Amino acid sequence: MIKIIALDLDNTLLDSQKRISGRNTKVLRRLHENGIKVVLCTGRPINAIWNYIEQLGLTQDDDFTINFNGGLVVNNVTKKPLFSRGLNADELKLVYDFAHEHNYSLDVLDFERVYEIMDMPRSVYKGTVKNIEFLDRHFAELPMGDHPYAKMVMAMPAEKLKQIIPTIPNELKMHFSVVQSQPHILEFLPKGGDKSVGLKHLLDHFGMDFSNLMSFGDADNDLGMIKDAEDGVVMENGLPNVKEEADHITKSNDDDGVAVYLENKFANLL
């Protein structure tokens, strides 16, 4: 029985204008009120998506969010982490050396802010992520020691990134989970960490398993939760390789695909 609905944001729940439509909002709020847990799963920190959390009414004591593509599971009310997995400063240098050598832009995120690395060209990441602090820093100025980091991001025009992805060294692929979360964003995450890992910790917390999970997504960083969920739903606008792993395909993010599928699946609750 489905008890948790996990939702990617960009190009899934959000339309092309980065909005949750009225139809999607109405359906998800109604299901949440009827005891179905609604969990947003994103690469962003919780403060960067708080407007969406409030819009959907996900502010009860047992509401959680999956942040940093599974690297952090946090309670929406207390902001206390249920689970976290990060990177250390030494690991950052592996990606930094590659980006610096080729003069690629790089952003480094800890669990609270974004450091835009000033040793190379400006990133376009700031135009993508809102409601989070951005700081200009040279790599040598980053907090070192035991300071935890969530991920590193290369953000640039999609056509340029498309050319770069095949050149990522195997050393980096072996050390990190490298995923393209949007056409213009490539993320370097802790190895073995993805949204499915964060969801596993949340399911365990509630005494559930993947047979209780429905997930919606569109891109490579959603692949784990699409595969593992009892019902993995991919948007019509999703990547071909992600669609191949879907249990169902729904309409696009601009056609209320989430609501369309849920209205049929949970007709008795709506």
pLDDT interval class at 184 (50, 70, 90): very high
* All domains of the chain in start order, with CATH: 4-84+193-265 (3.40.50.1000), 89-190 (3.30.1240.10)
Give start and end residues of each alpha helix (H) in the chain.
Answer: 22-33, 50-56, 89-102, 158-164, 170-175, 195-205, 223-228, 240-243, 257-265
Phi, psi values for residue 191, rounded to 5°: -60, 130
| Cβ–Cβ < 8 Å for 198, 222 | no
Q: Collect all residues with Cβ–Cβ distance below 8 Å to 262 and sequence separation of at least 6.
A: 5, 27, 28, 31, 270
Ramachandran assignment for 146, one of left (phi > 0), alpha (psi -120 to 50 degrees), beta (any other): alpha
Q: Collect all residues with Cβ–Cβ distance below 8 Å to 87 and sequence separation of at least 6.
A: 148, 149, 150, 151, 152, 190
Instruction: Say what the pLDDT of residue 199 is.
Output: 97
- Taking only the tens place, the pLDDT of each residue in 56-108 is 999 999 999 999 889 899 999 999 999 988 898 889 999 999 999 999 999 99
